[in-house]
Structure 1
Amino acid sequence: MRIRFSCLLFALGTLVSLQACTAKETEPTPDPTSELKFTTSTDKMVIKIDTLYTGFQNPWGMTWISENRMLVTEKKGEILIFKDDKFTGQKVTGLPSVYNNGQAGLLDITVHPNYAQNGWIYIAYAKPVNNGGATTIARFKLNGNAIADFQELIVTTPVWNGGTHYGSRIVFDNQNFLYFSNGERGSQDNAQDLKNSHGKIHRIHDDGRIPTDNPFVNTSGAVPSIWTYGNRNPQGLYFDKANNRLWEVEHGPRGGDELNILEKGKNYGWPVITYGINYNGTPITNITEKEGMEQPVKYWTPSIATCGMTMVTSDKYPAWRGNILVAALAGTHIARVEMNGTRATGEEKLLQGIGRVRQVSQSPDGYIYAVTEGTGLLIKILPGA
């Protein structure tokens, strides 16, 4: 099903003003037959939203295996196949069983940077183990729509019996190292403990080997794949290839969602420092800074429930180039964060009310796509006329 509508700032006689450095409430996303106009903080920009699919339950990740073929994961353990922006009615066959419980299930998907040459597709999923789950990275190739040459690369430890905070995103850097995120399972102390995998960002070779220059490979008892620690529940990763920077967003509790630049061996503070509080309103800690722990580039209070992310590098959206787009679950919008190098300078809420945005991605041909829960959408954002 495909529905087109233009997003214009004047809708039904209502004017919404967006300030450069403050996130303002925008109009709720309209019925697809109505129109809204958006004015960015730097320029007026009309965008069109093309609704490509409306049948998702819990979509999680998306990747392109060619300019016109896309794969989208469903948390329950399916991968849907799209061609020319249309669902083909086909799904990938031969997937492993997943531990589908709460936030656990089939999560992210991406292709190897040299996919055209080697055909490798990577997934993050909760592997069922001993009545619990373990965030796992695997890779496979496709023979038609069927999985071939499935390889399990790394399984996080310990196994967790519950459905809270599994991460997980996958990105590659300029040297084809693979990074993946893993949440702390709702057990705060895990994030500071180098002897377990949880509440960390990990770095491996594309075949699952542990790089010898990882920061804790020579630390007694430490999990050798750890790249950073003190991360609560990181559900967004992006590698900026032009500037060689690894970006992350992670959920705070009640307040304190974070946008971070991740650097080798650094401690991002959870739960010792945070700008959030417990869900019941009680304090987690009385400090927000501590020597040896990193400060976020930006944080959100109240929480928007940050999820997937991308950076706009395409020339399709000149007013947004260099901005970071962050999917917001609780916020039901896409946060467009203006950046000046590594400094966040402003924010705009896009498509307020579109649904729980799980992932936002830029396609190989430079267009922005997003998937939502609740409303079950796959949308494509197009520059307006």
Structure 2
Amino acid sequence: MLSSRFSRKALPAITGVVLSSLLVTHQAQAETFTSQYHDYTVETVATGLEYPWAIAFLPDGDALVTERAGRLRILRDGQILEQPVSGVPDVKAAGQGGLMDIILHPDFADNQLLFISYAHENADGVTTRVARARYQDGALGEVDVIFEALPRSNTTRHFAGRMAFDREGYLYVPVGDRGEKDRAQDLSDDAGGVHRITIEGEPAPGNPFLDDPNARDTFFTYGNRNIQGMDRHPETGEIWSHEHGPRGGDEINIIEAGTNYGWPEITYGIGYSGLPITDRTQAPGMAQLLHYWDPSIAPSGMAFYTGDMFPEWQGDLFVGALKFQKVVRLRIGSGNEIAEEEDLLTDMDHRIRAVTQGPDGAIWLLTDSSDGRVMKMIAP
């Protein structure tokens, strides 16, 4: 699969900006739009969330929504309950850090286990943590920290935090470079890579660096800057991700064991100062990306669509964008190349933090705002 990643170029949007304002309803809570394959309606489900970050759908019809400030909220029948879920561990909400992802165990209906990622602070600094907990009746119990990225630092940037389960039941935990880019090439430092662990927090069997005394056993990949989207391909089972570049160079990758994704030795972006980070976009032993954006769209959240509500979108990848305030639909070709790119919701002026397929087949979105929304894209 690695060979499919080499020499990809950023593709211009085939359809350009969608004519998002072509059809607008007169309802306060819903608008209808036109895209290449489907008309769709955007419905606001709930408002009043403080920088929501992730959503997880429970078997009983409720949903759990994380707020970056450290609260876990219950969405029930279109309403955010006033009382947050109790038992959430201490969260450091500063800069880009806070309460981030939430993901249910694949057998949640039987064991009620879930996992949350969050920023945590102690006397040694701040880091990314993952905790496992049992959820019941609006409370987290049996909370156990199963992963902590070390060493800590005093920056409040690039915590990463999106998570995914593979088909074997192992958990993938990305950690950003924490704004200290050289850490991403150091396998003795947990920053700047993806860690693959059991639900007890042990290194997953078959991890690529188990026999390397100079590497952390949990590492699965390295050279990753700041992964903010992750999902499992519905057919191949591969874990896909996207990550923030600096100025330009946002990437989509397939996460493969032992792979070095090159940051900061290779990149399609430049520094925030406008000066180059490196003059290389390729190097021996470093994987090429599947797709990149230049200028940066600041991607956040991603989901493969498999539902019946939008049959012509099945298999497409949906990516949220913070900076450009849109949702990007990507069609994947037979060789994992990006065959189509279409911009959706460009006229709504919402920073999109999360993109998730709901159990109803709708595409659910969270907006990054002090008055954040839960929205969903549904068939009109």
Relative to the length of structure 2, the TM-score reads: 0.91
Q: Which residue of 2 aligns with 1:246?
A: 239
**Contact 2:18-2:345 within 8 A present in 1 as well:** no
| Alignment partners' CA distance in 1, 2:209 and 2:356 | 31
Residue type of the alignment partner of 2:372 = G
Q: Pick from 302, 308, 318 the counterpart of residue 325 of structure 1.
A: 318
**Contact 1:173-1:241 within 8 A present in 2 as well:** no
| Alignment partners' CA distance in 1, 2:246 and 2:158 | 11
1:261-284, Cα deviation, whole Å (9 max, x unpaired): 110000101111110001111001
Residue type of the alignment partner of 2:120 = K
Residue type of the alignment partner of 1:161 = N
> Secondary structure at the residue paired with 1:92?
coil
> Secondary structure at the residue paired with 2:184?
helix
Q: State the 4+ residue runs in structure 1 displaced beyond 2 angstroms.
A: 19-37
1:146-172, Cα deviation, whole Å (9 max, x unpaired): 211111101110112121100011111
Cα deviation, residue 355, structure 1: 1.1
Cα deviation, residue 23, structure 1: 4.0
| Alignment partners' CA distance in 2, 1:145 and 1:36 | 35
Residue type of the alignment partner of 1:347 = E
Structure 1 residue runs of 5 or longer lacking an equivalent are 1-18
| Alignment partners' CA distance in 2, 1:354 and 1:348 | 17
Q: Which residue of 1 aligns with 2:129?
A: 136
1:159-216, Cα deviation, whole Å (9 max, x unpaired): 1212110001111111100001110011110111101011101100122111231111
Q: Which residue of 1 aligns with 2:59?
A: 66
Matched, 1:39 2:32: no
Q: Could you say what the CA RMSD is over the residues aligned between the two structures, in angstroms? A: 1.8
Q: Which residue of 2 aligns with 1:212?
A: 205
Q: Which residue of 2 aligns with 1:366?
A: 361
**Contact 1:370-1:380 within 8 A present in 2 as well:** yes
Cα deviation, residue 373, structure 1: 1.3
List aligned pairs for 1:1-385, cutoff 5 A. 21=14, 23-24=16-17, 26-27=19-20, 33=28, 37-40=33-36, 43=37, 45-66=38-59, 68-130=61-123, 132-341=125-334, 342-352=336-346, 353-374=348-369, 376-384=372-380
1:10-35, Cα deviation, whole Å (9 max, x unpaired): xxxxxxxxx96254365579786585
| Alignment partners' CA distance in 2, 1:64 and 1:234 | 22
Change (3 A) 1:360 1:35: closer
> Secondary structure at the residue paired with 2:130?
strand
| Alignment partners' CA distance in 1, 2:214 and 2:27 | 55
Residue type of the alignment partner of 1:364 = P
Change (3 A) 1:380 1:36: closer
1:315-358, Cα deviation, whole Å (9 max, x unpaired): 11112111100010001111111112411111111111341111
| Alignment partners' CA distance in 2, 1:281 and 1:142 | 47
Residue type of the alignment partner of 1:168 = G
Which one has more relative contact order, counting CA pairs under 8 Å at least 6 apart?
2
**Contact 1:191-1:270 within 8 A present in 2 as well:** yes
**Contact 2:21-2:33 within 8 A present in 1 as well:** no
Change (3 A) 1:32 1:132: farther
Identical-residue share of aligned pairs (%) = 37
| Alignment partners' CA distance in 2, 1:101 and 1:132 | 12
**Contact 1:23-1:346 within 8 A present in 2 as well:** no
Cα deviation, residue 108, structure 1: 0.2
Relative to the length of structure 1, the TM-score reads: 0.90
Q: Which residue of 1 aligns with 2:4?
A: none
Cα deviation, residue 377, structure 1: 1.2
**Contact 1:92-1:147 within 8 A present in 2 as well:** yes
Change (3 A) 1:216 1:97: same
